[in-house]
Amino acid sequence: MASVTLSEAEKVYIVHGVQEDLRVDGRGREDYRCVEVETDVVSNTSGSARVKLGHTDILVGVKAEMGTPKLEKPNEGYLEFFVDCSASATPEFEGRGGDDLGTEIANTLYRIFNNKSSVDLKTLCISPREHCWVLYVDVLLLECGGNLFDAISIAVKAALFNTRIPRVRVLEDEEGSKDIELSDDPYDCIRLSVENVPCIVTLCKIGYRHVVDATLQEEACSLASLLVSVTSKGVVTCMRKVGKGSLDPESIFEMMETGKRVGKVLHASLQSVVHKEESLGPKRQKVGFLG
Amino acid sequence: MAGLELLSDQGYRVDGRRAGELRKIQARMGVFAQADGSAYIEQGNTKALAVVYGPHEIRGSRARALPDRALVNCQYSSATFSTGERKRRPHGDRKSCEMGLQLRQTFEAAILTQLHPRSQIDIYVLQADGGTYAACVNAATLAVLDAGIPMRDFVCACSAGFVDGTALADLSHVEEAAGGPQLALALLPASGQIALLEMDARLHEDHLERVLEAAAQAARDVHTLLDRVVRQHVREASILLGD
């Protein structure tokens, strides 16, 4: 992760501030920074989203391709995640430097989506045991300003909401060989239901309290964090402790409760933003990186 | 490609442009706050992001430090979702390495490296859409200017091709995929010096001068646009500073 050097005095200042529920930029312990979400920024993908959370900048592209279903789940399609920590975030990620962090984030994404309810994979099936849609979700980390997991999960959810998969029909002729036909109308597509797609809320323990959405400086003061993956209804799908410090069980329960509370609010805001953007229709002014 | 005319009888290309016309260019400097310099450019459908860190101390082995000038280090990577077919590895493959070396050669010609001995300048370019070398160089120029690193001149790049006796400037993806001769040119506009010249496929030497001139003129047009972008950026920055 991109690191920042802090003096002891600055660390003490941050810890004391968190104690008083006043962080360096004036936020409370449970406040997020200003989040900008925009979907449909990359033209040749099935769905894309860009999220800017403070100084953290994430670009996610989803490409739908046809493949064969997995042997143990013949009636379902599947998702493949790939995270690229680009060297533009920090020079340490040059060459293979960003691979470790990328693999860690990709594995976390696999874990949070590894349950029956997050995404309805049966809608991705075209013909059982033969053809299905595979969604390649590619995450591009452009700038690292702290709180990567939250921003990435928000971007993945927005990109999956934006994904449009073309409708196909399987035609069977007399010899029994199957042919796949794409519908003529380019706007005829299936959309995924992202009602139950979870978002990650990272809670960093600083001193005796915990904060949501830590900046790089705050992450440098924290020894342990808890990643909680929450759906819009407050259901926890995955939980993970990261960091070199240790947490006591009471803190973990408190942090989980905070995570659920904050997660529900986060989901509600994200839903309203993406629906509002969608309601503007195809004539919407796309800003992208130029704004 | 049978049935697809790259240049119609009336002189229009596939996307409706004239032979010497450039695609629409939009650019912005200072996209990322944490990097020393950054820029974003859109040339038609090609989108390139460049980020510059430096000059800073040499990372890794001190032995690579040059006693009289700075080390310029470039990496080119293209997003996995950028091309039509999903790309497996964003960087590290041969094409990306070659592109990185070409960018390095281009910028070593332009950056005044003698002013920063024993230091390193990193230029990272990211293509968010299938495209070419030209957009990367233009984005990197703006990013280096945004970082405040002294350069001899702007570096403006453009591609050119040759179809039916006419030289085309600023090739789009369709025109590149058709397989005709392609020329990539990086120019320092004020002096007219060429920083990098690269050509693929066969072209008769009688036509070379025309294609080169088309690319050079297009690069000078790009320079006018980039100059305007830089001035606009400086004006906005000085308004914010209250000068």
Give the CATH number for residue A39. Answer: 3.30.230.70
Query: Are the CB atoms for B70 and B144 separated by under 8 Å?
Result: no
Q: What tens digit of pLDDT does each residue of A5-43 get?
A: 889 999 999 999 999 999 999 999 999 999 999 998 888
Q: Do B53 and A91 touch (CB under 8 A)?
A: yes
Q: Using CA coordinates, name the residue in chain A closest to B122.
A: A91
Whether pLDDT at A126 is above 70: yes
Beta bridge partners of A240: A227
Whether pLDDT at A49 is above 90: yes
Q: What tens digit of pLDDT does each residue of A133-157 get?
A: 999 999 999 999 889 999 999 999 9
Mapped onto helix, strand or coil, the DSSP state of residue B237 is helix
Residue B211 DSSP class: H
Whether pLDDT at B130 is above 60: no
Q: Is A90 inside a domain boundary?
A: yes
Average pLDDT (A108-114) is 91
Number of helices (H), then strands (E), in chain A:
5, 14
Q: Residue A17 corresponds to which amino acid?
A: G
Give pLDDT, residue B80. 85
Sequence-ordered strand ranges (E) for B172-236? 182-188, 193-200
Q: Do A44 and B124 touch (CB under 8 A)?
A: no
Whether pLDDT at A217 is above 50: yes
Whether pLDDT at B107 is above 50: yes
Distance, in Å, from the CA atom of B43 to the CA atom of B23, rounded to the nearest integer, reads 6
Q: In chain A, what percentage of residues exceed pLDDT 90?
A: 60
How many interchain CB pairs under 8 A, A with B? Answer: 92
Q: Is A286 inside a domain boundary?
A: no
Whether pLDDT at A61 is above 90: yes
Q: Using CA coordinates, name the residue in chain B closest to A48.
A: B81
Whether pLDDT at B106 is above 60: yes
Distance, in Å, from the CA atom of A147 to the CA atom of A213, rounded to the nearest integer, reads 6
Sequence-ordered strand ranges (E) for chain B? 25-29, 37-43, 46-57, 71-78, 119-127, 156-163, 166-169, 182-188, 193-200
Give pLDDT, residue B88. 77
Q: Which residues of B touch A287 (CB under 8 A)?
A: none
Whether pLDDT at A228 is above 50: yes
Q: Is A291 inside a domain boundary?
A: no
Q: Do B80 and A48 touch (CB under 8 A)?
A: no
How many domains does chain A contain in total?
1
- Who wins on pLDDT, B39 or B88? B39
Q: Which residues contact A166 (CB under 8 A, 6 or more apart)?
A: A64, A182, A183, A186, A188, A189, A190
Q: Is A259 inside a domain boundary?
A: yes
Q: Do A138 and B80 touch (CB under 8 A)?
A: yes
Of A24, A32, A80, residue with least CA distance to A56? A32
Q: Do B79 and A88 touch (CB under 8 A)?
A: no
Q: Which residues of B touch A87 (CB under 8 A)?
A: 51, 75, 77, 122, 124
- Paired sense of beta strands A78-85 and A131-143, if any: parallel
Average pLDDT (A55-67) is 93
Whether pLDDT at B128 is above 50: yes
Q: Which residues of A touch B31 (CB under 8 A)?
A: 289
Among A83-87, A269-273, B126-130, B186-190, the range scoring the smallest mean pLDDT is: B126-130
Q: Using CA coordinates, name the residue in chain B closest to A143.
A: B32
Query: Are the CB atoms for A168 and A181 separated by under 8 Å?
Result: yes
Q: Do B81 and A143 touch (CB under 8 A)?
A: no
The tokens of B218 are what? 């297009």
- Paired sense of beta strands A131-143 and A125-127, if any: antiparallel
Q: Using CA coordinates, name the residue in chain A closest to B45.
A: A43
- Who wins on pLDDT, A174 or B110? B110
**B232 confidence band (pLDDT: 50, 70, 90):** very high
Q: Do B92 and A42 touch (CB under 8 A)?
A: no
Query: Are the CB atoms for B144 and B133 separated by under 8 Å?
Result: no
- The number of residues making up chain A comes to 291
Q: Residue B180 corresponds to which amino acid?
A: G
Average pLDDT (A60-88) is 91
Whether pLDDT at A1 is above 60: no
Give pLDDT, residue B129. 63
- CB hemisphere CA count around B36 (13 angstroms): 18
Distance, in Å, from the CA atom of B105 to the CA atom of A9, rounded to the nearest integer, reads 45
- The parent domain of residue A32 ranges over 8-280
Q: Do A136 and B75 touch (CB under 8 A)?
A: no
Given the structure tokens 């990186």, which residue do they identify? Answer: A289
Categorise residue B164: left if φ over 0, alpha if ψ from -120 to 50, beta otherwise.
left
Give pLDDT, residue B39. 94
Whether pLDDT at A239 is above 50: yes
The tokens of A266 are what? 């986060």
DSSP track, A254-287: HHHHHHHHHHHHHHHHHHHHHHHHHHT-TTPPP-
Give pLDDT, residue B1. 45
- The number of residues making up chain B comes to 243
Q: Is A53 inside a domain boundary?
A: yes
Query: Are the CB atoms for B152 and B162 separated by under 8 Å?
Result: no
Q: Do A94 and B49 touch (CB under 8 A)?
A: no
Give pLDDT, residue A2. 60
Q: Which residues of B touch A140 (CB under 8 A)?
A: 79-80, 126, 128
Whether pLDDT at A132 is above 60: yes
**A205 confidence band (pLDDT: 50, 70, 90):** very high
Cα–Cα distance list, A133 to A65, A275, B150 (Å): 6, 25, 50
Given the structure tokens 């995404």, which residue do they identify? Answer: A119
Q: Do B81 and A63 touch (CB under 8 A)?
A: yes
Q: Is A186 inside a domain boundary?
A: yes
Q: Do B86 and A63 touch (CB under 8 A)?
A: yes
Q: In chain A, what percentage of residues exceed pLDDT 70?
A: 98
Whether pLDDT at A211 is above 90: yes
pTM of the model: 0.91
Among A6-10, A252-256, A257-261, B117-121, the range scoring the smallest mean pLDDT is: B117-121
Give pLDDT, residue A254. 93
Best B29, B34, B75 residue to mutate vs chain A (most A CBs within 10 Å): B34
Pick A289's closest partner by Cβ from B31, B45, B122.
B31
Mapped onto helix, strand or coil, the DSSP state of residue A239 is strand
- Chain B residues with CB within 8 Å of chain A CB: 26, 28, 31-35, 38, 40, 42, 45, 47, 49, 51, 53, 56, 59, 73, 75, 77, 79-84, 86, 90-92, 122, 124, 126, 128-130
Q: Do A136 and B86 touch (CB under 8 A)?
A: yes
Among A38-42, A89-93, B116-120, B197-201, the range scoring the smallest mean pLDDT is: B116-120
Q: Using CA coordinates, name the residue in chain A closest to B82.
A: A44
Q: Which residues contact A43 (CB under 8 A, 6 or more apart)?
A: B45, B129
Average pLDDT (B150-169) is 91
Average pLDDT (A67-94) is 90
Q: In chain B, what percentage of residues exceed pLDDT 70?
A: 96
Average pLDDT (B84-103) is 84
Whether pLDDT at B75 is above 80: yes
- ipTM here: 0.87
Q: Is A287 inside a domain boundary?
A: no
Distance, in Å, from the CA atom of A64 to the CA atom of A71, rounded to the nearest integer, reads 20
Q: Is A289 inside a domain boundary?
A: no
Distance, in Å, from the CA atom of A23 to the CA atom of A19, rounded to the nearest integer, reads 9
Pick A91's closest partner by Cβ from B42, B49, B122.
B122
